[in-house]
Structure 1
Amino acid sequence: MSGLNIRQALLATAAAILVVPSVAIANIDNANTDMSVTATGSWKFEPDFFATYAPVTALDMVRRIPGFSIEQGEGRRGFGENASNVLIDGDRPSTKSDDIITILSRIPASQVAFISLSEQAGADTETQGQGQVVNVVRIRSAKVNGTYEATIVAGRRYGFQPSLNTSATMRRGDTSYEVNFSSYSERVYGFGPEDFKTGSGRLVERRYYTGKGGHDEAAFGGAIKTRVGGAKLNLNGQLRWNDKFDIRNAEYSNAERERTGEEFLMRDGPIGDLSYELGGDIEFSAAPKTSTKIVGLYRTGNESSFSSIETTRIAQPVTLFETRSRNKPMEAVVRMQNDWAAVRGHAVQFGAEIAYNRLDAQFSVANSVAGAVTNFPASNVLVEETRLEPFVSDVWTLGPAWKIEAGAIAELSKLTLSGDSTAERRFTFIKPRAIATWTFSPQTTLELRAERQVAQLNFNEFATSVDVTVGNQVDAGNADLVPEKSTTLSALIRHKFLDRGSIQFRADYQLVSDTQDLVPITVRDADGNIIAQFDGTGNIGKSTKWNGELEITLPLDWLTKPIGFVGIEARYVGHYHGSRVTDPVTGLNRRVSQRPLWHQQWDIRHDMADLGLVFGGSISVQDANYDYFFNEKRRQKEGTRTTIFMEYSKFKLGTIRFQVTDMAGFRRDRFIYAGTRASDTLTQIVNRERRLDPLLQLSLSGKF
């Protein structure tokens, strides 16, 4: 589907919603008694509002809030800027290993007193920079309560793969204790051909692949929340184990379908890796109308991988290519924020954050044909960064309908590389931000935003790696990599209707400098002669990006109730991502790598509350991804993913869910050029398809 057609589809869908008969648009005076709203954009949802959905956890409840989507940060630098838009009892969890979705899934729905939603700038000091914030407030109970979910996934060639998630919380006065355990197991079997052709499209060789992959993970954690004098103290920790494998076989044949060889690939990583995190915060008031919060976080672990690919061709010697890596990342963060409310109509926050990040990366390659270890650039590097970020912001309440949040973060950082690559750089960034919200009716909010952002560096991109699944493609470490910077102007309008319906449209325009993309990395000998050229992540100058997003949640009772059906709800999410950058190889304009032009998803569900039954399904499809290597253009297209499910919530032990997922296969096309892409001379075309079997899933979830 072309970009034009997508834009037309988004506009047509929005228009269809806007012409819903006026009788369907709910007046706030007739809202359900289990939901209340004020003219200042604050909503309160009582547990009865969610009863029709038979929620098991707080996550089930938050996902049913009209017009709200969970945000988990956007890969920005620092702890403070990566805040989610969900709070638990008014606090932001002091963790980066656990995402907010996982944390919400551990809270029983029966322990939620109510959920509040604020849709104004500076909604909460814990999540400044967010224009929409949810706060899940729990019941204070001395009983032990918790959640559990047990899942079995199976397929025609999968076997049974179990997963378990459980948590328990106990309160004693002002102190609560939580322990949680999770285990995850996944197996995927894929099959399909890969065709190697000449530049003119003539088939030279076909490789037919069959394989299986798996991912096993287990985590154990806990948290303590208490009061020490007049201060609130939160402590948390987690230990996580990861293991992953991929095994693949291939049969080679020529254009006449005669067997010419075979291939065996084995890839592991992570390999039984352990990681842990310790975090906590303390909040107190040292002066009137002032609140201080200090956050501490430390996490570290191992990231190991091993891969080998053995190729046997008729009348040729066996070749074996192996890679090994062992990375040790570490992060330590201390943040202090002060909230001052001494001036009427203003809420001022100021403070500073200090962070230290480190990656010790070790990598090696062995090739049996050469008979010796092959070294690549930046095979062993130590990356260290120290960062200081003072910040200040002010939330200005202009009246019941208007709020403005304005602030700035200054970043002072030092980055050093040692080992096979050596470098030292210092950065100074100023990141201003301004957000204005206008609540011009209880159901309708307009948000305007302008901000300067700096992307988080991925330290793994300073070190070399090799992807053995794509012709031993080298991702060369780049010692010259710097953070991407962008200035964003955005607007959002959100409207609620039918008590449970909403429509939201967001658009933004970004001016980007030091755009991160693929760049050629050249290796020279002592005399300056080029001995090798690889691709790696680097900076390719300025670019522009523009995005559009349309979300619609449409309850259909107004349409179906006259014919005897209630509880049917449809949802649509559409994204459009445009971009333009100058290609460093060809000098021509193109899209930024790894940005699908569009993505769409349709969901429908039918809640039959009296019977405890829910039926539903979803369809998801997206445009192709493009990668631009120095001598290759690669296109990958994910297939359509469809899911149908049925839930029964009146089972004594909890809620039973049965789900069938038609796994999306994919097609990858590689266009390889002579010399570089600038030559415009194709020498090889490689087409790969992977098909996956459908998955069957049975789960039991409950609360105690």
Structure 2
Amino acid sequence: MTGFRRKIAIVLTGTFCIISPALAHAEGRSGGTVNVTAIEGKRQFRADYFEVYAPVTALDMIRRIPGFTIAEGEGRRGFGENAGNVLIDGDRPSSKSDDIFTILSRIPASEVDYVELTEQAGADAETQGQGQVVNVVRRISSKLTGTYEGNVVFGHRYGFRPSVNGSATLRRGETTYEFNVTSYSERVYGYGPEDFKLGDGSLVERRYYKGTGGYDGAGLGGAIKTRIGGAKVNLNGRVHLDDSFDHRTGIYSNAADIFIGNELLLRGGPKSDINYEFGGDIEFKLSPKLTTKIIGLYRAATESNDSSIETARIGQPATFFETRNRNKPVEFVGRIQNDWSALAGHAIQFGGEVAYNQLDARFSAANSVLGAVTVFPASNVLVEETRIEPFLTDVWAVSSKWKIEAGAIAEFSKLTLSGDSSASRSFQFVKPRVIATWSVDPFTTVEFRVDRQVAQLDFGEFATSIDVALGNQVDAGNADLVPEKVTTLAAQIRHKFLERGSIQFRGEYQMIGDTQDLVPVTLRDAAGNITAQFDGAGNIGDSKRWNGELEITLPLDWFTKSVGFSGMEVKYTGHYHGSRVTDPVTGQSRRMSNRPVWHQEWALRHDIAKSGFVYGVTAYVQAQNNAYFFNEYRRQKEGVRTNVFIEYSKFKLGTLRIQYTSIPDFGRDRFIYAGTRATGPITQIVNRRRYLDPLFQITLSGKF
């Protein structure tokens, strides 16, 4: 048995030993749950269920629902395909810039009437494709309500960074007004060596780096929800400013530890980047059995990043390398969906979506030595895509225990590149989906899924960029990139026990076409001669992936009440990721790049009854991450990330939270070959180690 398999066996055996007495205890109960209404496939959590957790926002409440994890979509193509699994008052937010975590954090917990968890296929017409959906239902109130948060992040080498966030909601008759403001600021201090060695491992040069990086941001947003006649109308908007930077110095020494030079790296935007979004929807009934919803969304941004690296070695001329990036993404989405309920036992949805995406990417780089400047070829690319997607879905309630969702989306799209790269391609895809759920009893659900999806393209990968912090590594734009296609077979079982406990396991097998990974990108002159070769994103043929996920939430009252305390809970989440693909350089079988074999999270939380105190600790760890370049093999490993906190919720101003976060140490090993990984020996080894100062955080949050 390998070491990894032995670890898996120990984890599974220990898990079984832990939950067996709990499950036995649960089976001995009457089957009801305090403060929870349960029927096949649905559970309704009233506000008093969450009292023990003293939640401030709706996000705090959602995080306490056993067996539920917020999903934001999986990078699929299309607005409809990226529906998450959280609704607000039965509606999906018509926004892409504001994530659901941010939206939930603006809703005061005191304004939530109840939270409903549905675990059935076709759980809601707004989130089709999800087998598990939460709906946050707010109270009807005419009062001004909202949330506020003051936050300070600090460390002994980068000072104090304050942030302020707030939201307000006002209802007048049929109209609700929402307003929010947000700001954040954070700094991280890192240091450590980078060793350059020959292929035999002998040290040639050491560079010791230290530096500070960080980001600042601020944003304003708002929404209006009202009724016009019999129609529901939602409008929302958001504008956000972001600024980030990186400042690093390096000291060079030779194998004898003698100083031989230094380096200064500066990276950041010359001005704050701005992004904004406007969206909305209108929903109305064309007949008692037919409901129509029209959604519109527009967003745009300006993104800039300049970098420079200056190196001065003893006895050599100084070198200066600089890059400039200017990107302008734009997106427009229009969608119409119709829900028809005229057939008994069936809920049919049909409609269409049209989208236009654009990226205007402009990149330049220059290298200067002794006053002479070498300008690299510009990489100015305009990427445009127009996509039309008609869709049809039927949710069939076979019985109170069985539901089946079956549907398909047809995609017709055209992608064009102009500027330094020219290309034009048309795509036609059919994306079918079948989901079946079996509600074994009010606390156990089994889900089966078969679907075919098309991954979203990252338009930035059509344009060239350079990482100055990694030896001026070039990420070449690839005009031949196409989206990968994934067919998934999956099964999942979820079981609730002990009122607040759950266990679930998911397994899936995926067959991928046009797998996206790192590929060699060759540049040629007009005569066809190779002028340069770089790495970039590309397609490397067919591959296989298989994944497993185990999640356990285990309240310990059944054990700890006998020794005099309650309110303690442990949670474990473990993921395993396997994959197999043919390497485009060596022709041999290997794992996919940038896909760790496993990652795990362990958490313990103790809500001390009636005291207002809560404390907890979380630990996250993952396996090493590998990447395969045409002339380099790279492995990267991070240490354990830990988070320790204590909260007190009985202050008049709200909840006070003190938190310590240890940011994991980082190690990267690069093995660089002469020629390619298939033909050349290893000529250079580069070992980088980075250590990061921990973060301390004090937060005061409340609701009104």
Task: Find the counterpart in structure 2 of residue 25 from structure 1.
Answer: 26
Q: CA deviation at 1:10?
A: 4.2
Q: Percent identity?
A: 65
Distance 2:675 2:19 in 1: 54
Deviation track 1:536-557 (CA, whole Å, cap 9, x = no partner) reads 0000001100000000000000
CA contact (8 A) 1:656 1:701 kept: yes
Report the 3-state secondary structure (helix = DSSP H, G, I; strand = E; otherwise coil) of the residue aligned with 1:338: strand
Report the 3-state secondary structure (helix = DSSP H, G, I; strand = E; otherwise coil) of the residue aligned with 1:678: coil
Task: Find the counterpart in structure 2 of residue 213 from structure 1.
Answer: 213
Q: CA deviation at 1:22?
A: 5.0
Residues 280-299 of structure 1: pairs in structure 2 closer than 5 A = 280-299=280-299
Deviation track 1:3-38 (CA, whole Å, cap 9, x = no partner) reads 424432442244224422555215674534411101
Q: CA deviation at 1:685?
A: 0.4
| Pairing 1:7–2:14 present | no
| Pairing 1:359–2:348 present | no
| Aligned residue identity for 1:226 | T
Q: List runs of 5+ in structure 1 lacking aligned partners.
A: none
CA contact (8 A) 1:10 1:574 kept: no
Residues 491-510 of structure 1: pairs in structure 2 closer than 5 A = 491-510=491-510
Distance 1:618 1:244 in 2: 28
Deviation track 1:659-678 (CA, whole Å, cap 9, x = no partner) reads 11111110000000010011
- The alignment's TM-score, normalised by the length of structure 1, stands at 0.98
| Pairing 1:102–2:65 present | no
Task: Find the counterpart in structure 2 of residue 260 from structure 1.
Answer: 260
Report the 3-state secondary structure (helix = DSSP H, G, I; strand = E; otherwise coil) of the residue aligned with 1:252: strand
Task: Find the counterpart in structure 1 of residue 436 from structure 2.
Answer: 436
Task: Find the counterpart in structure 2 of residue 173 from structure 1.
Answer: 173
Q: CA deviation at 1:371?
A: 2.7
CA contact (8 A) 2:324 2:365 kept: yes
Distance 1:445 1:648 in 2: 36
Report the 3-state secondary structure (helix = DSSP H, G, I; strand = E; otherwise coil) of the residue aligned with 1:469: helix
Q: CA deviation at 1:166?
A: 0.6
Residues 379-418 of structure 1: pairs in structure 2 closer than 5 A = 379-418=379-418
Q: CA deviation at 1:108?
A: 0.1
| Aligned residue identity for 1:468 | V
CA contact (8 A) 2:19 2:554 kept: no
Task: Find the counterpart in structure 2 of residue 90 from structure 1.
Answer: 90
| Aligned residue identity for 1:467 | D
Distance 1:104 1:29 in 2: 34
| Aligned residue identity for 2:143 | K
Query: What CA RMSD, in Å, does the superposition of the two structures yield over aligned residues?
Result: 1.2
| Aligned residue identity for 1:248 | R
Distance 1:57 1:168 in 2: 12
CA contact (8 A) 1:319 1:367 kept: yes
| Pairing 1:36–2:37 present | yes
Deviation track 1:194-247 (CA, whole Å, cap 9, x = no partner) reads 000000100000000000001001110000000000000000000000100000
CA contact (8 A) 1:28 1:442 kept: no
| Pairing 1:246–2:224 present | no
Distance 1:125 1:560 in 2: 43
Report the 3-state secondary structure (helix = DSSP H, G, I; strand = E; otherwise coil) of the residue aligned with 1:50: helix
CA contact (8 A) 1:3 1:598 kept: no
| Aligned residue identity for 2:5 | L
| Aligned residue identity for 2:242 | N
CA contact (8 A) 1:431 1:452 kept: yes
Label 1:431 to 1:9 Cα distance change in 2 as closer, same or farther (>3 A): farther
Task: Find the counterpart in structure 2 of residue 628 from structure 1.
Answer: 628
Distance 2:534 2:340 in 1: 53
Q: List runs of 5+ in structure 2 lacking aligned partners.
A: none
Q: CA deviation at 1:350?
A: 0.3
Distance 2:386 2:521 in 1: 27
| Aligned residue identity for 2:187 | R
| Pairing 1:513–2:513 present | yes
Distance 1:438 1:302 in 2: 47
Distance 1:129 1:371 in 2: 58
After the TM superposition, which of the residue ranges 382-391 and 658-667 deviates more from structure 2?
Answer: 658-667
Label 1:577 to 1:108 Cα distance change in 2 as closer, same or farther (>3 A): same
Distance 1:21 1:281 in 2: 46
Deviation track 1:473-529 (CA, whole Å, cap 9, x = no partner) reads 000000000001010000000111000000010010000010001100111111111
| Pairing 1:556–2:559 present | no
CA contact (8 A) 2:22 2:558 kept: no
Deviation track 1:257-286 (CA, whole Å, cap 9, x = no partner) reads 000100000000484011100000000001
Task: Find the counterpart in structure 2 of residue 673 from structure 1.
Answer: 673
Distance 1:486 1:643 in 2: 35
Task: Find the counterpart in structure 2 of residue 70 from structure 1.
Answer: 70
Distance 2:355 2:619 in 1: 42
CA contact (8 A) 1:580 1:591 kept: yes
Distance 2:480 2:279 in 1: 32
Q: CA deviation at 1:288?
A: 2.5
Label 1:509 to 1:30 Cα distance change in 2 as closer, same or farther (>3 A): closer
| Aligned residue identity for 2:298 | Y
CA contact (8 A) 1:3 1:597 kept: no
| Aligned residue identity for 1:455 | A
Task: Find the counterpart in structure 1 of residue 132 from structure 2.
Answer: 132
Paired residues, number:
702
Task: Find the counterpart in structure 2 of residue 150 from structure 1.
Answer: 150
Distance 1:584 1:462 in 2: 19
CA contact (8 A) 2:300 2:330 kept: yes
Residues 315-334 of structure 1: pairs in structure 2 closer than 5 A = 315-334=315-334
Report the 3-state secondary structure (helix = DSSP H, G, I; strand = E; otherwise coil) of the residue aligned with 1:481: coil
Distance 1:525 1:480 in 2: 18
Task: Find the counterpart in structure 2 of residue 480 from structure 1.
Answer: 480
Distance 1:692 1:576 in 2: 27
| Pairing 1:581–2:591 present | no
Label 1:258 to 1:22 Cα distance change in 2 as closer, same or farther (>3 A): closer
| Aligned residue identity for 2:662 | D
CA contact (8 A) 2:85 2:127 kept: yes
Distance 1:647 1:376 in 2: 55
Distance 2:562 2:528 in 1: 80
Task: Find the counterpart in structure 1 of residue 226 from structure 2.
Answer: 226
Deviation track 1:561-610 (CA, whole Å, cap 9, x = no partner) reads 00001000000000000101000000011111111100011000110131
Deviation track 1:382-424 (CA, whole Å, cap 9, x = no partner) reads 0000000000000000101000000000000000000000000
| Aligned residue identity for 1:483 | P
Q: CA deviation at 1:109?
A: 0.2
Distance 2:203 2:214 in 1: 32
Distance 2:628 2:554 in 1: 40
Label 1:454 to 1:339 Cα distance change in 2 as closer, same or farther (>3 A): same
Deviation track 1:628-658 (CA, whole Å, cap 9, x = no partner) reads 1100011111111111110000011000000
Label 1:281 to 1:21 Cα distance change in 2 as closer, same or farther (>3 A): closer
Residues 358-377 of structure 1: pairs in structure 2 closer than 5 A = 358-369=358-369, 371-376=372-377
Q: CA deviation at 1:693?
A: 1.2
Task: Find the counterpart in structure 2 of residue 279 from structure 1.
Answer: 279
| Aligned residue identity for 2:375 | T
| Aligned residue identity for 2:600 | Q
After the TM superposition, which of the residue ranges 448-457 and 679-688 deviates more from structure 2?
Answer: 679-688
Report the 3-state secondary structure (helix = DSSP H, G, I; strand = E; otherwise coil) of the residue aligned with 1:19: helix
Distance 1:416 1:100 in 2: 32
| Aligned residue identity for 1:25 | A
After the TM superposition, which of the residue ranges 19-28 and 691-700 deviates more from structure 2?
Answer: 19-28
CA contact (8 A) 1:244 1:271 kept: no
Distance 2:3 2:38 in 1: 41
Report the 3-state secondary structure (helix = DSSP H, G, I; strand = E; otherwise coil) of the residue aligned with 1:190: strand
Q: CA deviation at 1:373?
A: 4.4
| Aligned residue identity for 2:175 | T
Distance 1:20 1:343 in 2: 46
Distance 1:609 1:108 in 2: 22
